[in-house]
Amino acid sequence: MSKSVAIIGDLFMLPEAFETALKDACGDQVQIKTRKDNWPDEPMEHGYAVEGMDGLKEYFGTADDVVEFVGDAEILVTQLAPMSRSMFERLPSLKMIAVSRGGPVNIDMQAARDHGVLVVNTPGRNASAVAEFTIGAILSETRKIREGHESLRAGNWRGDLYRADVTGRELSEMTVGVVGYGNIGTKVVRLLRAFGTRVLVCDPYVQLSPQDAQDDMVSHVSIDTLLEQSDVVTLHPRVSEETRGLMNAEAFKKMKKDALFVNTARGPLCNYDDLYEALVAGEIGSAMLETFAIEPVPTDWPLLQLPNVTLTPHIAGASMRTVTFAAEQAAEEVRRYIAGEPARNPC
């Protein structure tokens, strides 16, 4: 007997991508219905702002709309649809949720356990996309791409960018500090190795891979050593009590005066008020910021006004391969559930 699957996609994680992957993986073992939500053209919600959605973060859709659509489906595949305790109580047929993201922050996990619902996720879905973006962000700053672009936009030919005391540096002559050595951090290190870069890794919970450990240009060091010796510091850890506000006034004071700070991970890892002061005071050279504590950022945010900062609107993980890879992972989890096999990534 086929399983009823409800797919709630959006304008990034397309429901048709989920459907194609599910049909490839499960054939006629699934009966599929789909819905496409309007994110990112409309903003997400956070649970603390909506009654009955306490603890849920980064979700899209209302409880009533989601419950009505899911109905008696046994399986829900989604990126952003919320699932609160009261919603589980209204969906007794639901037995599995596949969340196509690194963490199921839109799901009340304790309620899922209490109701016997299996929740799986897709860790590393955008690791390659973010790693590539990080290298691009570093190159944009170190090779003066942003400065050259902005000057031409303003009608100014910056020939002085060819001066030896102004021009950029190559990655092959630089030291890059990578904080966090998970799915993304390991890929950043691998890409940097191809440039001949000296890489310093700080992650107290993991060891270097055999390939990195055998490379004389890659070292596992303390956070203080990394900050003091790196020409570029790039963040890739998860947000935890230990890492929240990791980059603060004290950390910036340890960095080189001309160092570049890159955050393509999460906003709460950095105290942005302290970063602003460090940039203005010349304690570090420049910054490239992709994620923020508040999104969208206020239009009058001081960091938007600084000439030595590049900012992008949290798009590092946005690539078509992220979409298809996440859909394939979710579909494989559904196939395993139907076949009675253990989940690869149970939450």
**Strand, coil or helix: 155:** coil
d(CA 82, CA 107): 6
- From the list 101, 220, 266, 335, the catalytic residue is 266
Q: What is the distance between the alpha carbons of residues 294 and 267, in angstroms, rounded to a whole number?
A: 8
Q: What is the DSSP string of 215-263?
A: -TTEEE--HHHHHHH-SEEEE-PPP-TTTTT-BSHHHHHHS-TT-EEEE
State which H helix or E strand residue 32 sits in. strand 30-36
> Which is catalytic among the residues 16, 170, 295, 341?
295
Choose, from 198, 220, 314, 335, the residue flagged as catalytic. 314
Are the CB atoms for 310 and 80 separated by under 8 Å?
no
Q: In 3-state terms, what secondary structure has residue 11? A: coil
Q: Where are the alpha helices (DSSP H) in 40-118?
A: 63-70, 85-89, 109-114
Please tell me the distance from the alpha carbon of residue 83 to that of residue 97, in angstroms, as a whole number.
9
The CA distance from 278 to 280, in Å, is 6
Pick from 123, 90, 79, 88: which is nearest to 109 by CA?
A: 88
Q: Is 30 left (phi over 0), alpha (psi -120 to 50) or beta?
A: beta
Amino acid at position 242, single letter: E
- Residue 310 CA to its chain's centroid (Å): 18
Catalytic annotation present for 266: yes
Query: Which positions are annotated as active-site residues?
Result: 266, 295, 314
